[in-house]
Structure 1
Amino acid sequence: MKSTAAGLPLSYRLAVASRCLAALFGGYALAAMAGVLLSQWLPLPRADAVQVGMMSSFLFYLGAFIWAFASHSAWRAWLGILLPSLVLGTINGLTYWVARP
């Protein structure tokens, strides 16, 4: 492993950068998918369901950030954020196509 001037290896720096990208972009995808799903499925009037869904998406974003830096590896961070995002996106798509008039 080659060390940099600060004493940290390049592989460590790349792992931290990967976790940051997973937290930023993957967290946004997770929060968006969760917010849309909640706004579609909550048994509330449309405006209230959208408001609750969008407000709760901040909690999903926070959870994604915590997960990205608490997981054991950068691969596990990406997997733990993107897999639920894909599941929620699939459920959102199925809900849209099945409930479409």
Structure 2
Amino acid sequence: MTGEAWPPLHAGRAWLSRYGPLLSRVVAAVLGGYGLAVLTTLAALALPTSRPEAALAGLLASFLVYAAAIIWVFAVRSAMRAWLGLCVAAAVLLPFAWVAR
């Protein structure tokens, strides 16, 4: 025994620096995409149609938004840009969702 700690203390930082951005993208895709899909559904309720038609339109659009968010998260150069893009999209949809309440 050489007196070194096992596992090495730097092993956690190495794992985080290697897999952290990927884990961040996965969380952004799942949770951020879901959040955008919900905001899309709520924002569609502000459309000038009957409430059931607006809800159906929002539901259909939410599938497209969720898929586009997942593609966006893994297509951009960094995890930070992925989160920033999701936040910008949410900021655009939030006033419409607020009006629809």
Q: Same fold (TM over 0.5)?
A: yes
User: Structure 1: which 5+ residue stretches go unaligned?
Assistant: none
| Structure 1 counterpart of 2:6 | none
Matched-pair contact (CA < 8 Å) for 2:45–2:51: yes
User: Structure 2: which 5+ residue stretches go unaligned?
Assistant: 1-9
| Structure 1 counterpart of 2:5 | none
Within 2, Cα distance between the matches of 1:46 and 1:90? Answer: 18
Structure 1 residue 69 displacement after superposition: 0.3
Within 2, Cα distance between the matches of 1:68 and 1:34? Answer: 17
Q: CA RMSD in A?
A: 2.2
**Matching residue's letter, 1:53:** G
Superposition TM-score, scaled by structure 1 size:
0.77
Q: In structure 1, which of residues 80, 83, 87 is the aligned counterpart of residue 92 of structure 2?
A: 87
Matched-pair contact (CA < 8 Å) for 1:39–1:54: no
Runs (4+) of structure 1 exceeding 6 A deviation are: none
Q: Which has the larger radius of gyration?
A: 2
Q: What is the number of residues matched between the two proteins?
A: 91
**Matching residue's letter, 2:94:** G
Deviation readout 1:32-88 (Å, 9 max, x if unpaired): 1111111221x3322111111112101000000000000100000001112211221
Within 1, Cα distance between the matches of 2:77 and 2:71? Answer: 12
